[in-house]
């Protein structure tokens, strides 16, 4: 048993411990106040920065075009009017901007002897190396036509050294409406060296860029350039679009339909990411079944069935794109959502280079997803089977439960027994249209009917 002295000693220890803890608490509160003040100050600065429109971020996988303009001295000696000379250069730079904008590239810097534009900075994408290569070829072709005019008049013309490099960099965006970009880092440090190695009238690209565009363009190896941290950087001369993909087979600057199709397949990942982000951010919360995951399922299944049916590459792209957009109309409203999905597709797809006839076909396929399904051709059959693919899958019950939850939230049905009866009726009258789906799903669908019939209460 503890003595009185022991209890007093223990009490004193507890008092000291309590005092120590109180001091620690005061210290923590003080530190917390300091951190809170610091965070508030950072947020204040961030708001100021945002207000100014400045933003800096790391950009991965961008491509930069660097043009160095040379020959001013020769032209000045040949042309007494320096103002007219620089007016012409301004005109050329404006044409460069026009070509860059056409191919989704953004001007980074126009200052005297240098013109720089880049792809993949305003919006991340996988196609920017191709876009920048097209910009370079078109600029070169434009300059060649002007050069011929100057030659006929016996006048001197600028020499341009052109380089392209793909890599990473830090991007600073200034302004809100009229945005301007500046670049720092490896990619912008390297590309001027590539341009400096090029011959006038030729386009040199790094081996990084070459690997990303070599299936679209004809290129020749030139030399190795010493490079920090990696020993050397391979240089290639960008010559033209490959003849098989070129509408102007002699020059190789204008892409043909095959090029566009190949490009759109590569770009599909970018569009898919954009559409899924749009659905996640904007779909109503009560759409438990018709959510972005359903869109992923339908798109993947459309590709699987399309391959199984042996359709062409272009048809495969068309039906996959239709599947990707088929439920976007739910963002506007669920009734008649198919129509609104076509409106969204018509708004978005021209920006991604889809041709008018392709967009028309995509919209027709989207409208074929209206219930009851009445497809008029193979592609419409594919999307109808893809949209209702869950009917023949092993995870039918979870999918069916999500659809019931969604319809209940919308006030369409509120009794699970009635829902099961509706499901049996729908399943019994439903048929898969494509041979691929009939082979993969029809047997499972029949077993689903038997399972649900056992759940129905008379």
Q: What is the mean pLDDT of residues 100-123?
A: 87
Is residue 83 pLDDT above 70, yes or no?
no
DSSP structural state of residue 59: E
Name the helix (H) or strand (E) containing 67: strand 55-70
For 9-66, the pLDDT digits (tens) are: 776 776 667 677 667 656 555 544 554 455 455 445 445 544 455 688 888 999 999 9
Distances (CA, A) of 263 to 39, 128, 215, 370: 46, 11, 11, 31
- The pLDDT value recorded for residue 29 is 58
Of 3 and 317, the structure prediction assigns the larger pLDDT to 317
Q: How far is 135 from 262, CA to CA, in rounded Å? A: 18
Is residue 431 pLDDT above 70, yes or no?
yes
Q: How far is 165 from 268, CA to CA, in rounded Å? A: 23
- The pLDDT value recorded for residue 36 is 47
Of 311 and 160, the structure prediction assigns the larger pLDDT to 311
- The pLDDT value recorded for residue 6 is 67
Q: What is the mean pLDDT of residues 240-250?
A: 92
For 13-23, the pLDDT digits (tens) are: 766 676 776 67
Tokens 């040949």 label which residue? 78
Supply 372's token pair: 């009851």
Q: Which of 272, 286, 306, 291 is nearest to 406 (CA)?
A: 286
Q: Binning pLDDT at 50, 70 and 90, where does residue 324 land? A: very high
The residues, any chain, with a CB within 8 Å of residue 131's CB and separated by 6 or more, are: 63, 103, 104, 105, 119
- The pLDDT value recorded for residue 72 is 59
- The pLDDT value recorded for residue 346 is 98
Q: How far is 136 from 206, CA to CA, in rounded Å? A: 14
DSSP result, 216-233: TEEEEEEEEEEETTTEEE
- The pLDDT value recorded for residue 46 is 44
Is residue 401 pLDDT above 90, yes or no?
no
For 267-283, the pLDDT digits (tens) are: 999 999 999 999 999 99
Cα 434-368-275 angle, rounded to 5 deg:
100
Say which range, 22-31, 115-124, 251-260, 417-426, has the weakest mean pLDDT: 22-31
- Other CB atoms within 10 A of residue 24 CB: 10
Cα 277-335-301 angle, rounded to 5 deg:
50
Helix (H, G, I), strand (E, B) or coil at 261: helix
Chain-centre distance for alpha carbon 264: 12
Distances (CA, A) of 442 to 56, 303, 385: 54, 19, 11
The DSSP bridge partners found for residue 116 are 66, 109
CB of 458 within 8 A of CB of 448?
no
Q: How far is 50 from 70, CA to CA, in rounded Å? A: 38
Buried b (16+ CB within 10 A) or exposed e, 196-219: ebbeeebbbbbbbbbebbeebbeb
- The pLDDT value recorded for residue 181 is 85
**346-353: long-range contacts at Cβ-Cβ below 8 A with a sequence spacing of 24 or more?**
348/271, 348/274, 348/275, 349/321, 352/264, 352/267, 352/270, 352/271, 353/260, 353/263, 353/264, 353/267
- The pLDDT value recorded for residue 286 is 92
Supply 445's token pair: 């669908």
Tokens 């920065």 label which residue? 49
Q: What is the mean pLDDT of residues 186-203?
A: 89
Q: What is the mean pLDDT of residues 133-150?
A: 88
Q: What is the mean pLDDT of residues 368-377?
A: 94
Q: Which of 203, 190, 185 is nearest to 232 (CA)?
A: 190
Chain-centre distance for alpha carbon 372: 34
Q: What is the mean pLDDT of residues 362-371?
A: 96
Is residue 243 pLDDT above 90, yes or no?
yes
Say which range, 33-42, 221-230, 346-355, has the weakest mean pLDDT: 33-42
Q: Which of 284, 285, 286, 282 is nearest to 409 (CA)?
A: 286
Residues found in the chain: 458
Pairing of strands 55-70, 180-184: unpaired
310: left (phi over 0), alpha (psi -120 to 50) or beta: left
**Biggest alpha carbon distance in the chain?**
117
Supply 398's token pair: 């979870």
- The pLDDT value recorded for residue 113 is 79
């Amino acid at each position: 048993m503890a003595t009185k002295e022991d209890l007093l000693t223990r009490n004193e220890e507890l008092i000291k411990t309590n005092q120590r803890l109180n001091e620690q608490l005061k210290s923590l509160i003080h530190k917390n106040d300091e951190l809170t003040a610091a965070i508030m100050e950072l947020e204040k600065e961030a708001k100021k920065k945002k207000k100014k429109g400045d933003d800096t971020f790391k950009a991965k996988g961008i491509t930069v075009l660097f043009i160095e303009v040379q020959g001013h001295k020769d032209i000045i000696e040949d042309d007494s009017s320096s103002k007219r000379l620089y007016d012409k250069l301004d005109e050329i730079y404006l044409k460069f901007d026009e070509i860059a904008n056409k191919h989704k590239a953004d001007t980074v810097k126009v200052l005297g002897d240098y013109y720089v534009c880049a792809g993949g900075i305003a919006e991340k994408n996988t196609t920017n190396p191709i876009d920048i290569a097209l910009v370079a070829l078109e600029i070169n072709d434009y300059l060649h036509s002007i050069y011929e005019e100057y030659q006929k008049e016996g006048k001197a013309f600028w020499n341009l050294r052109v380089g392209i490099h793909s890599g990473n960099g830090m991007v600073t965006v200034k302004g809100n409406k009229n945005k301007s970009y500046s670049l720092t880092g490896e990619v912008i440090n390297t590309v001027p060296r590539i341009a400096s190695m090029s011959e006038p009238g030729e386009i040199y690209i790094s081996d990084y860029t070459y690997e990303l565009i070599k299936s679209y363009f004809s290129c020749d190896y030139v030399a190795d350039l010493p490079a920090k941290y990696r020993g050397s950087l391979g240089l290639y001369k960008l010559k033209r679009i490959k003849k098989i993909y070129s509408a102007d087979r002699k020059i190789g600057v204008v892409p043909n339909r095959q090029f566009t199709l190949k490009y759109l397949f590569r770009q599909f990942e970018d569009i898919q990411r954009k559409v899924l982000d749009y659905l996640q951010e904007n779909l109503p919360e009560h759409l438990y079944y018709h959510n972005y995951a359903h869109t992923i399922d339908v798109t993947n299944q459309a590709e699987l069935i399309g391959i199984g049916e042996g359709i062409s590459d272009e048809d495969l792209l068309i039906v996959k794109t239709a599947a990707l957009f088929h439920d976007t109309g739910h963002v506007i409203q669920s009734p008649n959502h198919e129509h609104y999905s076509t409106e969204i597709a018509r708004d978005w797809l021209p920006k991604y280079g889809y041709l008018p006839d392709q967009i028309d076909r995509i919209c027709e396929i989207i409208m074929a997803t209206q219930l009851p399904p009445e497809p008029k051709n193979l592609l419409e059959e594919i999307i109808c089977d893809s949209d209702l693919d869950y009917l023949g899958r092993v995870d039918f019950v979870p999918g069916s439960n999500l659809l019931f939850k969604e319809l209940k939230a919308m006030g369409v049905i509120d009794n699970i027994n009635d829902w099961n009866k509706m499901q049996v009726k729908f399943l019994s009258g439903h048929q898969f249209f494509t041979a691929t789906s009939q082979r993969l799903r029809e047997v499972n669908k029949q077993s689903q009917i038997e399972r649900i019939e056992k759940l129905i209460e008379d």
